[in-house]
């Protein structure tokens, strides 16, 4: 059995998310530990999800075979790091272009990010 965990931005306030991999019998045996109804992970429900089924609202999912919990956590991290890396690259382009340091006239229509990044790099800093 394995459990990948993620806290997210609400981890301290609302609890963490557990992605559980393992045999059905083992997961059911440990359900009282995972379920917030036991008292150690009580929090208010997300507005609008009162009728949602399953255990995701309680902060955990059983993803079936052994290893699945950590596999899903690995995919989660890959997506998160990819988005963060993309944001960092875009901010670096804006910084290199001195965007926001002084007002100026717009001399052309906006282009896609990759095209704009190449044209910004080819121009000398002002």
Residues serving a catalytic function are 73, 80
Taking the C-alpha atoms of residue 72 and residue 95, their distance in angstroms, rounded to an integer, is: 35
Taking the C-alpha atoms of residue 119 and residue 111, their distance in angstroms, rounded to an integer, is: 10
Q: What order do you get walking across the sheet with 2-6 strand by strand?
A: 2-6, 17-21, 60-62
For residue 23, give the nearest of 42, 54, 41, 2 by alpha carbon.
Answer: 2
């Amino acid at each position: 059995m394995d459990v990948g965990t993620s806290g997210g931005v609400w981890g301290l306030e609302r609890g963490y998310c557990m992605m559980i991999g393992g045999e059905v019998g083992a997961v059911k045996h440990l359900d009282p530990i995972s379920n917030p109804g036991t008292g150690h992970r009580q929090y208010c429900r997300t507005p609008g999800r009162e009728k949602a089924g399953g255990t995701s609202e309680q902060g955990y999912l059983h993803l079936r075979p052994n290893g699945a919990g950590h596999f899903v956590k690995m995919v989660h991290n890959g997506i998160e790091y990819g988005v963060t890396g993309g944001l960092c690259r875009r901010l670096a382009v804006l910084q290199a272009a001195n965007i926001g340091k002084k007002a100026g006239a717009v001399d052309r229509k906006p282009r896609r990010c990759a095209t704009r990044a190449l044209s910004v790099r080819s121009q000398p800093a002002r």
